[in-house]
A and B are shown apart, each in its own frame.
Chain A
């Protein structure tokens, strides 16, 4: 009887889920201008696709309010305040740079608004600075690089030279790798940090790497710096004698076309590779390509899974800030990246890490997956997670 009435009202689909039709206000904070604009656009494209694919599974509807963080922490903080206090959003998502995340952290935590981090990887956000309201669906800087230390040692590499830009993320990525590599028995024979976004010429550092007596080089670079670095590395002819390894952002599908043949043979590790062979990823990457004409990047999948996590949380019936925060912490599903779950101790995503090589394919460069390293939860890193009370 009741069902018939609802069907008459056109709400039959809503019956399949326990939640009543709730309208949830989502504040989407991404950089649409500034150096990370390309990342922001990719995350948003993924996010929209996620809503499209899974939106029907929940009774909730979403009202999205977009704000441009401009990659400037003070600007982003102002926008976060606007979203929380004026628009009164129920949940926030996005955030690309760690600096922006650090800026909005206290605000979000204090106001008790759940935030799904769709990129920013600083370890503290799910360590010392963790909050029950901040759930990360992307990665942590340490998580992506930690498995590579042992993996490279197992490949027979004993001496490594490392390079990264001189800022927090660069240091965290390298430290995580160096810790597991030396623990396995390897040796870091040299380490340089280049001035962040001020280094046009990597030549001086490459000469040092060459002179260091290392067997391989491990680096973290992203964006424009990644392109310059990979091309300059290749132009010095170092790839043959000194194989290049790194954090997978180095050869992200977002920039690999610009890197061209220079990227061939570079081996990196990341939480997502566009060529992963599983049903969820095939569906996702086909749809993404049809929409944008591009191969999805790790940023796109982070946006996609962020939308999915939000939908999963609303499926439990959560609709207000506190219940959404609690529900987000318990989210787990099988997505393009494989099996994802949130670690309740830190609120960071637990996910497999893939080692892949960039190789020449039929139409440009593509990724060959060399191995999947098992999912491991990050160390707690001083996170004391308080419970959410209403």
Chain B
């Protein structure tokens, strides 16, 4: 089950403070990067829930995000539904799709699960790419942002939009923690550690997996609806498997199964990408090498490494403390 420790709280507070500071003070491009980080963070949270806590390594989360983005664009744009409702609709729709995918793939494990999700993701990609109604490879432009002028917020201002995304990310983070702590979340970690036993205990394993996958899909869909509003433009590239692959990289880079780690990973990845691509067009090479180095170091990503060091320090402190008590104990024993 998911627990916060002091370190996790500390990093969360630091991240939130940093994001808030950036949102309030940054210039235009800084806000742009911040929003990109916030949306990516939402996607990787969704992925960490299924991959880190359920062992379901998904290569279709990029596609689920894309489904959310397209659903929002269609509902708000073509169908003319109020953007708030369109957003809810997009979240529900991608959640539903994710639930079905989760249910179908529930029996597969390991590489087969990865491939099955990949297949569904690519199906969605091909479908969107070849649908003239959805704009084909040219995508859909002119997507409007949510209208919150009634409560005095103009989302067309990038600062407000960044703050809006930050607020939603906080809500999503809270929801993720609640999901993982709920009965469903406990069942999920049971399934990840020993599926046979959970089945023997009478648990409907596929239902648990599908439900969690569906909830995760809702988060990915929300990220998609935000991404569509952020760039006010969507294209099939959003659904490509490489987006899912990159999200997976971020989760691992940050620290799988820690929730906080992927947030750290999202910051690191986006900043690294922007810094490197400004210097060289061969930035993939550098990212690739860093990725290999991080994984080879055997730490559970950046955050996992910090946590391990932190844990070692605590242990040492505990050991020191016990050693201090030791002489008395030895004496009494003798």
Binding site for B on A (CB under 8 A): 32-33, 37, 68, 70, 72-74, 77-78, 81-82, 85-86, 98-99, 102-103, 105-106, 122, 124, 129, 166-168, 195-196
Contacts and interface: CB of A to CB of B under 8 A. Distances in A.
Given A167-B137, A196-B129, A86 B231 contact: no
B281 A81 contact: no
Contacts of A106: 141-142, 232-233
Contacts of A168: 136-138
Contacts of A81: 28-29, 32
A68 B139 contact: no
A85 B29 contact: yes
Nearest to B126: A195
B208 to A, nearest CB: 34
Given A32-B281, A102-B139, A103-B141, 7 more contacts: A33-B282, A73-B235, A85-B28, A99-B138, A166-B129, A195-B126, A196-B137
Interface string B256-290: 00000000000000000000010001111000000
A124 B235 CA distance: 16
Given A85-B28, A166-B130, A196-B129, A68 B141 contact: no
A96 B198 CA distance: 54
Contacts of A70: 277
B32 A82 contact: yes
A86 B26 CA distance: 12
Contacts of A74: 227, 231, 233, 235, 237-238
A122 B138 contact: yes
A111 to B, nearest CB: 12
Interface string B201-213: 0000000000000
A99 B28 contact: no
B36 interface: yes
A81 B135 CA distance: 23
Interface residues of B, number: 27
Contacts of A129: 141
Contacts of B284: 33
B27 interface: yes
14 contacts: A68-B277, A74-B238, A77-B231, A77-B233, A78-B231, A81-B28, A98-B137, A99-B138, A102-B139, A103-B141, A124-B138, A167-B137, A196-B129, A196-B137
B281 A33 contact: yes
A21 B334 CA distance: 95
A102 B29 contact: no
Contact of A73 (B28, B29, B237, B283): B237
A99 B237 contact: yes
Contacts of A103: 139, 141, 231, 233, 235
Contacts of A32: 281
Nearest to B137: A167
Contacts of A85: 28-29
Contacts of A122: 138
A102 B40 CA distance: 23
Nearest to A78: B32
